[in-house]
Structure 1
Amino acid sequence: MAAQDAAAMAPAGADPDYLPFHPAPSRPRFRPPAGAVDAHCHVFGPAALFPFAPERKYTPVDAPADQLFALRDHLGLSRNVIVQATCHGSDNSAMLAAIARSRGLARGVAVVSPTISDAELQRLHKGGVRGVRFNFLKRLVGDAPKDAYRDIAARLADLGWHIVVYFESAELDDLAPFLTSLPGTVVIDHMGRPDVSQGIKAKGFRAVQRLMDENERFWIKATCPERLTEAGPPYDDVVPFGKTLVERYPDRVIWGTDWPHPNMRSHMPDDGQLVDFIPRIAPTPELQKKLLVDNPMRLYWTEEVGA
């Protein structure tokens, strides 16, 4: 879908230049292994039930749970990890409601306030949350509140949660000391957002790999070729990055669609094509099972894996 056409379809209430998610994703040619997890996706609203945060930097289209779960089934996936996005702030109600409707097939990653009570953290845990997200993208959060992030991280150990971090690889040299000071498992979003135009030997991508090499408690998501590409679909220019991560860190890498793809500007991806990207970065059945089943189950459904 051309960006200008998609923008014209944005419903009332959304930002006028906001691109709605693909209305009819193709059915992928690749068949994911049984139990495959979409380990990075979102739900937005519906705003009539779950209003967006007043401090948000963007207003998306509604992307409710029933559409997410229908997409999961259409793509041949089995489970979802729903990541709280900045448009809902630290009100995780939409995510928790979606998890509650999933019949145990969804988990969540929350955004929380430093003043959150222990009782509320326990409520989130019982509701299926297994991690918290720290965002370092200035266009979404301004200057990241590192002191607040540090305070939150210190309170999560007893819950067994992990921390998801979202940053640009160009900023990693400055961020690395803070990131490595965080306790527990740390999961890097979207391949660390490398500049694909510079190739896999570029400084930023090498810094991401160095962080992974030196810290075995760090994981990474081989996600969002549509955000990283300069060439466009089918994202040939991003394949070397994803393949490097999957093959180098086979037990610490996960994958997800990023549906409904908030704040895309160049184009709106076909989620079927994103699933067909998987065998290009995980070329063997063994790597595919680790990426899509074993690793996300170990990270988010530990109680089932250990049963």
Structure 2
Amino acid sequence: MFPDIATCPSADAPPCAGPLTSLLTPAVQLPPQACDCHFHILGPADRYPYSPNRIYTPPDCLVPDYVALRNCLGLSRCVVVQPSVYGSDNTVLVETLRTMGDDARGVVVLDDTAGPGELADLHALGVRGVRVNLVDVQRPGADLPVDRLLRLQERVAPLGWHLELLVPVDQHPDLYEALHRFDVPLVFGHMGYPTIGTPLTHPGMAAMLALMQEGRAWAKLTAPYRLETGEPPYHRAQTIARWLVAQCPRQVVWGTDWPHVMVKTRMPHDVELLEVTAQWIEAPHLRHAIFAENPARLYQWH
């Protein structure tokens, strides 16, 4: 039997490395109800084939692997985010939520066919947001798809969901004008995913910060290795993270970004990433907010 084309690497979807699997105990102790606000489950690929339009081919990274890591890091809650390799097929994410129960929330990708009944079912399982990925696609667009985002808002606002945007904010200096009209919360992945070398004074960065200061937006402290070519302690990511936390401590959450797909530097260890983040957030009240209190508000644990 020949393998499914959607499970095999190709020139347009090369293989990427898997995460480090050793389980280490972090030196930092997290607050109760600490939450990983960004991870992915991938595979089994022979059962859940990847989209033919993907730009990478990951190894299987499964729920038991993640749960072992989560427990080792001292986390209680988690948010599974739809990866680009599955497009709008949320089957794996749904199965993950069913397996993990109320300690998990989800962020899906929606196509135009999902109706109110399906959205209500997703909400009952723990979905609280919709992801729009403008980076990990074969043909990234130059403009923000504002009309598409407004249509998504109309569909998810009755459920109290947010829109999660993976978009380099520095490529959109008019970001504030485009997004300040939105009524649902906006969540910027990877600290706004700025291009290497982008200053904090860039209009796109300033726009993200303004939306956060108004309570309209949030930022995820995730994937520092995607913001620079260096290695831990990730000095550039540290600068951005501390800037966001200093200005908007109630609008920031943290996540592992496990299993770290398409890493272009050396593969980091998750304990290393957690300890680096803890160095950025030294005050106990800020750690409690970013690791526990803020996620409980954003993802509606009541």
TM-score after normalising by structure 1: 0.87
In structure 2, the residue matched to 1:184 is 184
Cα shift at 1:138: 6.6
**Contact 2:175/2:207 (CA < 8 Å) preserved in 1?**
no
Partner-residue secondary structure (3-state), 1:287: helix
1:168 corresponding residue in structure 2: 168
Matched, 1:277 2:272: no
Contact residue 200 and residue 206 of structure 1 kept, 8 A: yes
Contact 1:228/1:238 (<8 A) preserved: yes
1:231-275 residue CA offsets vs partner (Å, 9 max, x unmatched): 212213321211111121111110000001122122211101111
Choose from 5, 8, 22 the match for 1:13: 8
Structure 2: distance between partners of 1:129 and 1:153: 15
Give the aligned partner of residue 92 of structure 2.
94
Please give the alpha-carbon distance, in whole angstroms, between the structure 1 residues aligned to 2:296 and 2:189.
Answer: 17
Instruction: Map residues 197-216 of structure 1 onto 2, 5 A cutoff.
Output: 197-213=197-213, 215-216=214-215
C-alpha displacement of 1:64 = 1.2
1:1-307 correspondence runs (5 A): 13-14=8-9, 16-137=14-135, 139=137, 142-143=140-141, 145-195=145-195, 197-213=197-213, 215-302=214-301, 304=302
Query: For the residues of structure 2 that align with 1:117 and 1:201, how far apart are their CA atoms?
Result: 41
Task: Measure, in 1, the Cα distance between the counterparts of 2:186 and 2:272.
Answer: 28
Contact 1:154 1:183 in 2 (8 A): no
Structure 2 Cα separation of the partners of residues 138 and 102 of structure 1: 27
Between the two proteins, what is the percent identity of the paired residues?
35
Give secondary structure in 1 for the equivalent of 2:197: helix
Structure 1 vs Structure 2 CA RMSD? 2.1
Structure 1, unmatched stretches of 5+, are 1-11
Count of aligned residue pairs for this structure pair: 291
Q: TM-score, normalised by structure 2?
A: 0.89
Deviation of the 1:145 alpha carbon: 4.8
Q: Is the 8 A contact 1:114 1:149 kept in 2?
A: no
Distance 2:184 2:146 in 1: 17
Describe the SS at the equivalent of 2:219.
strand
C-alpha change, 1:254 and 1:141, in structure 2 (3 Å) is: farther
CA distance in 1: counterparts of 2:248 and 2:215, whole angstroms: 9
1:130 alignment partner, SS class: strand
Alignment CA distance shift 1:231-1:62 (3 Å): same
**Contact 1:196–1:238 under 8 Å retained in 2:** no
